[in-house]
Structure 1
Amino acid sequence: MKLLLPFFTAVFASDRIRGVSITRQALYPPGTHFTCLDGSKKITRAQVNDDFCDCADGSDEPGTSACPNGRFHCPNAGFAPQNILNSRVNDMICDCCDGSDEWGGFVDCPNTCKEEYLAAHAEKIEAQKAQVQGFEKRQDLVDEAKLQKISDEEELAAAEPEIQELQKIKDEADKLKNEAEELETKVNEELEAVKNKKIVDRAATYSEEDISEIAFNHLDANKNGEIVVYEITSQKYLDPKPETSSFTTKEAKEVMKQKDKIYLEDFRAEIWPEIKEKIVAKLERAMDEWDRKIDEANKPDEPKKPEQVAEVDQETVDYSEESLDAMEDELDEQEDYNDALEPVNHNDELSDEHQKIFDAAKAARKVFDDADRDLRDAESKISEIKDRSKRDFGPDDVFRSMNKVCFEFKTTEYIYTLCPYDKCEQKPVNGGSGTKLGSWEGFENDFNEMHFTNGVKCWNGPNRSAVIKLSCGVDNVVLSVTEPNRCEYEYKFETPAVCTKPEPVPDHDEL
């Protein structure tokens, strides 16, 4: 190869210096000498491109492979000029589309610049089409954001009087609920007094021996004449340590005096005296069953019903002003029937009037709960609108549509989630809990990057974080997720939100 160099050097001596772009030819002026571009050395003109490296910066051998740190310029006429490493010159591999890097003639390099230009031009046309579509979608996002912003402002303007009205309705419902519950409580207290009196009166007709037998039968669940551990543990009120969460076998054996079985006589002698107070409250049902057949025929008649009062329809009740007034009138009417609640007129069965009072209280609670829920919903909605108004949705509010929206990217191992204004997460494909890669931090790089920080801490490492690289695209889509550095994740995300108005592609351009 070196035998051919003097010939080629001579050919190009009168032309431009091989391997140097037109714009840099002035650095190699005609003359008998050449000064290295770094100024370190002066050599003869003949030493330029003589396949021997004289200058430390490699500037004397732009057209050969002699200097490892040099660069060779490919003109690539009709396409894109490029600079390649000098080591690729005359290496029998065609690097320049015009074949100028293989000037030694050791390999025939066809000129493919036209074909490469046409392919690149077609690719650029397609990219421009996508950018046009993306920009059109961006304009739609901007228009949509304007409408959303106007809607938010209108809702905020109307919110204050609406919330005041809902608060008024809730306060009225609360007042009626309290009145209804006060009457309900009174009825319950009087009914309880009647029941207690009946228990006392009934108990007086039985001896201590009878009462203890009733208690024994009450605890003897399977009625086999003996009480065992599970029959004790099933009665939580007998737990000697009620502050604990469970009634254990050990604690039950304490009640049973460490015996495995308790018979009636042992129960009367050893167990009954200690649990008597606890079990009295539970005796009513057992005593009712004991006495049911005896006094079935002599069961007191139903008390006479007072005048009918307006019934509360719980399924159709609302909290309109008319409905609240009607409920208030009903509660006033029911106060007139307090005389009917005297213990002497009661039996164990609820009268219709009692039930109406309970139904009215239940309906009043429902009205209050509905009013309270609607008020809280309205306040939550307004809070959400105010929160949106403080967010940075970028130029023209173009990112507003991404608020509370998530995107996914799936690999063979993980599903990566991107939720702008919230978080990034990594979840195993086969299920299991996710790992937070970061919480929303904000935009960077002129709204071309989203940053998420302070994710779950890596084992013996930093907290995870994620950077979202945005590029123009027709749709919102995560293209890839990588981990370039430990615990630092990078998403590639296409979105029309960052598309700019495209420039027209010329018929012929040298890229």
Structure 2
Amino acid sequence: MTKELHPLSMRRTMVKSTVGHVQHTTYDLPDAKNPNHVYGYELPRDPENAGQVIGKWVHATPSPATTTGRSFIETNRQAIIHGCVSAGENRKYANEHPGIVVKPAAKCKGGFVPTNDTTYGIKSKESEDIWGLVQARYTSFSNDDAYYPDLGSMKTRGPIRVLLFKLKSDANNMTRLLSPLLLLGLLPAASCASSSVLIRGVAPSDQATYLSSEFSCVVGGRATNLPISRVNDEFCDCDDGQDEPGTAACSYLINAEFHCENDGVFPGKIHTSRIHDGICDCCDGSDEAIDGKSPCPNTCGAAADKFRKEAEQRLEVVKTGFEKRQATINGEIAEYFNGAQKAEATTLKELVGLKLLKDRVTVHKDREELKEKKYRMDIARQKQAEGHEGEETSKQQFSDAAEQEAVKALDFEGLDAVRVADDDVPVNSAEDERASEVLDSRRGTVKSLVELPDGTRIPLADYLRMNHNKQAPNKKLRAPRTAEEMRREDFLGPLFNGGAEGRKRIGLYALRTIGIVISPVRALVELILFSPRTLWSVLPTSEIASSAIDKLPDFPYPSRSIWFRQLGGGSVYDGYSSVMWGARVVWDAPVYAYHFLFPKLDDELKLPVAESLRKVLREIDADIAKLEKEQNEKREAAKVDYGPDRAYFALKDKCIEKRIEKYEYKFCAFGEVKQDHTKLGKWDGWAVGDTNDSSSGEGTDKVVHTKMRYSKGQRCYKGPERSVLVHLECGKHDEILSVDEPSTCVYQMIVRSPLACTSQVLAKAEQDVAFWT
């Protein structure tokens, strides 16, 4: 059934819609049918027997009042008024002003006599029937501008004040605040502007949203028009907090912001949670203002002075860096790049001259190396002949020295293939003269001297000017052969006209020819014996068998016995020795032919002229390689992006080092970045930023010449490769300012350099000084 309510019970409430509905329980309480069931513990009225204590009070003299203590509330309020907004400044102010204490209670006027109905505190009021609110079927709502009850003192107060602040009367502020709106044509006239109000916490450029009697926002996901009186009413209506820019009602929203005008010097925004929090966030104190009055001092002027001084100091640094940058661009960089074409022509001319010089030195070197090769061949043949002679003498193959000399002559006469070449390779004296002129124009190009056969050391230019085609005076010319010598030496002359020596030579040639013809027989024998010999040398039992064989008695050779040497008056032994010598010549003919055709040359045998020319040629090659490297570097440097005016070229091949905490950092522009011995990354180009092309409407990549990317560094343990992003800032000197690691193995480095002080940075610094001035 519905209970009829008293009209006074139907009071107006603060809620905007239905208060709520209460539903009765649909289940019974435990043991509801037992009337004696106790659902909790009995609460005694006076567990401490306070009534008995009070009843035993007797008349006595009251104790003296305690000393008045510090008033923390008043101390904090005074600290904020004097600009001490931070916790540290607040404590410092409290220590400096210990006299701020709690005010003593006001004494009653003399002659005042209290009556029986005098109220010494807040008078109690009978509570209203709660059923009037819980079970109300109907209620009326107050208008938004109606008076509301103060539930604390149960007095009727005025309407909820709208936190608006009146427009300042100052003409300058009036123009500054209203100029954006006048330009947009959103204010009707200047006369009306003076009487209009601005919404607290809203920037002047956004005031047009609140000019009409209603404004639109999203409430509960739906676009809704709200009356302007709902703005800054301490109740968050809009989902985005648009209706509470000047209060903290929507502080739970991330994008709820309060606009600090800051006297128009440097306006900014703060979160609405910082409004009326007892801390002055805006320099003009507007975030703590109540009814247009703020307990915070206006520190915008002091802040502006501070920023002005910082801007002037910054401008001084930028000017110094800009001057250094311009000096570097006009000096070192201009000399390197602007004279590139002239340097290219000079380098090309020097390369042509050095290559001509190299060609002429190569000709002379080849000529001397041919002599050196012939010299080595002669020495090798001589050693070969001496070794053959010693071997034959030890085996008693020749009876006298004459026969040995004959064998030597038979072995080498007319068979030296190198002698078919002329000793003197003709050279071009005109080309040598041009090469010597190149040396005269490039003093110090070749420091090595040329050593002549007699030990004299002369410069290369003097060596090239020598007449190398002239026959050496000390060279012996071979006399023409006589008819007798030709009959004795040519074809079968040694057989018929050479006597015993000639027949010996022809016999030796014949035996070696037979040995070469039947050389496949020796190859077959060697092939058959190869496996046994290899196994004999590899098997471990070979050493034991060799030692056992050595202990066996020698096999009796007939040639070693005295009776065999004396047999037939020695003729049998001589015939046996000749046959064995001939067999050995035939058997060793392939080996002899191989050593003769491919003699072992001693590379350590060097002629002084050839060796000195090789050293000279190495120096020339080094000079040519150096010039070609410089030429290639200049060509590559012309293709590399070194920033505006190629200013950062001055950092190329230079490194900046600094120790930060426990690490030594090393920054090499266009090279690599290191942390001690760990490579953080190598040059990977300039950073690229996204920009929008207004003409095409598409995003384009723009190179940012103040950020260097370094990648492919040493891999982290179970992580990615290290990388660094270097930020270049303007400064007086080259230095590493700081290094951070915002994420794992990804570093951020700030480097200051005068080369970053561009004209745009200078213009920005001048604008900052002009703004604050």
**TM-score under structure 1 normalisation?**
0.65
Structure 1 segment 207-222 matched on structure 2, within 5 A: none
* Alignment-derived partner of residue 208 in structure 2: 26
2:683 aligned with 1:425: no
Residues 157-186 of structure 1: CA deviation (Å, up to 9, x unaligned): 122232122111111111211222222232
Please name the residue that 1:473 is paired with. 731
Q: 2:284 aligns with which of 98, 104, 110?
A: 98
Q: Among residues 228, 236, 251, which one is paired with 1:53 in the alignment? A: 236
Distance 1:362 1:185 in 2: 12
Q: Aligned residue for 1:184?
A: 372
Are 1:449 and 1:470, in contact at CA under 8 Å, matched by a contact in 2? yes
Q: Please point out which of 679, 683, 686 is paired with 1:435.
A: 679
User: Equivalent residue for 1:152?
Assistant: 340
Say if 1:499 and 1:63 are closer, same or farther in 2 by CA, change over 3 A.
same
The offset of 1:460, in angstroms, is: 4.8
1:357, CA displacement in angstroms?
7.8
Give, in whole Å, the separation in 2 of the partners of 1:41 and 1:165.
89
Residue 89 of structure 1 and its aligned partner are, at CA, apart by 0.6
CA distance 1:373–1:438, change in 2 (3 Å): closer
* C-alpha distance 357-89 of structure 1, shift in aligned 2 (>3 A): closer
* Cα RMSD for the two superposed structures: 3.7
Cα gap change, 1:356 to 1:46, in 2 (>3 Å): closer
Deviation at 1:458, TM superposition (A): 4.5
Q: Aligned in 2, Cα 1:426/1:191: closer, same or farther, shift over 3 Å?
A: same
> Residues 115, 25 of structure 1: CA spacing in aligned structure 2 closer, same or farther, 3 A cutoff?
same
Number of the residue aligned with 2:268: 82
Distance, in Å, in 2 between the alignment partners of 1:392 and 1:473 is 22
Please tell me whether the aligned partners of residues 409 and 417 of structure 1 are also in contact (alpha carbons under 8 angstroms).
Answer: yes
Counterpart secondary structure, 1:170: helix
Deviations 1:363-395 (A, max 9, x none): 222222222222222222222222222222233
Distance in 2, matches of 1:337 and 1:6, equals: 137
Change (3 A) 1:89 1:6: farther
Which whole-Å CA distance do the structure 1 matches of 2:163 and 2:646 have between them?
65
Deviation at 1:426, TM superposition (A): 2.4
The residue aligned with 1:260 is none
Distance in 2 (alpha carbons) for counterparts of 1:83 and 1:357: 88
Instruction: Tell me if 1:318 matches 2:459.
Output: yes
Question: Is 1:333 equivalent to 2:472 in the alignment?
Answer: yes
* Counterpart position of 1:386: 635
Question: Structure 2 vs 1, CA of residues 310 and 5 (structure 1 numbering), >3 Å: closer, same or farther?
Answer: farther
Report deviation, 1:7: 8.1
| Structure 1 runs, 4 residues or longer, greater than 6 Å off | 2-8
Taking structure 1 as reference, are residues 187 and 435 closer, same or farther at Cα in structure 2, changes over 3 Å only? same
The structure that has the greater radius of gyration is 2
2: distance between equivalents of 1:415 and 1:385?
32
Separation in 1 of the partners of 2:473 and 2:682? Answer: 61
Report the AA paired with residue 673 of structure 2. E
* 1:371 partnered with 2:620: yes
Q: Pick from 329, 332, 348: which aligns with 1:142?
A: 329
Q: Percent sequence identity over matched residues?
A: 29
Q: Structure 1's 149 and 44: CA in aligned 2 closer, same or farther, altered over 3 A?
A: closer
Q: Report the Cα offset of residue 447 of structure 1.
A: 2.0
Describe how 1:35-434 pairs up with structure 2 within 5 A: 35-36=216-217, 40-68=223-251, 69=253, 70-77=256-263, 79-104=265-290, 108-144=295-331, 145-202=333-390, 311-314=454-457, 317-320=458-461, 322-326=462-466, 328=468, 333=472, 336=475, 358-421=607-670, 423-428=671-676, 432=677, 434=678
Q: Deviations over 1:214-239 (max 9, x none)?
A: xxxxxxxxxxxxxxxxxxxxxxxxxx
Unpaired stretches in structure 1, ≥5 consecutive residues: 209-308, 340-354
- How far 1:327 sits from its partner (Å)? 8.2
Deviation (angstroms), 1:66: 0.9
CA distance in 2 between partners of 1:334 and 1:392 (Å) = 65
Instruction: Give TM-score, length-normalised by structure 2.
Output: 0.44
CA, structure 1 residues 509+310, in 2 after alignment: closer, same or farther (shift >3 Å)? closer
Q: How far apart are the structure 2 equivalents of 1:370 and 1:98?
A: 78
How far did residue 120 of structure 1 move? 0.8
How far apart are residue 92 of structure 1 and its match? Answer: 1.0
How far 1:452 moved relative to its partner? Answer: 3.0
CA distance in structure 1 between the partners assigned to 2:377 and 2:263 by the alignment: 103
Task: Give how far 1:54 is off.
Answer: 2.1
AA partner of residue 134 (structure 1): G
Residues 245-265 of structure 1: CA deviation (Å, up to 9, x unaligned): xxxxxxxxxxxxxxxxxxxxx
Mapped contact 1:169–1:319 kept (Cα < 8 A): no
**For structure 1, which segment, 493-502 or 100-109, has the greater mean C-alpha deviation from structure 2 after superposition?**
100-109
Cα deviation, residue 84, structure 1: 0.8
Change (3 A) 1:60 1:372: closer
Check whether the contact 1:438–1:456 (CA below 8 A) recurs between aligned residues. no
CA distance in 2: counterparts of 1:417 and 1:328, whole angstroms: 58
Output the amino acid matched with 1:96: C
Q: By how many angstroms is 1:67 displaced?
A: 0.9
- Structure 2 residue runs of 5 or longer lacking an equivalent are 1-149, 167-195, 397-451, 479-603, 689-702
**Quick one: which amino acid aligns to residue 223 of structure 2?**
S
Is contact 2:453-2:608 (8 Å) kept? no
Q: Is the 8 A contact 2:312 2:769 kept in 1?
A: no
Q: Secondary structure at the match of 1:509?
A: helix
Q: Greater relative contact order: 1 or 2 (C-alpha under 8 angstroms, separation 6 or more)?
A: 1
Instruction: For residues 93-130 of structure 1, give each alpha carbon's deviation from its aligned partner in whole angstroms, at most 9, with x where no partner exists.
Output: 11111222112499942221111111111001111111
Q: Report what 1:269 is aligned to.
A: none
Q: SS of the residue aligned with 2:199?
A: coil
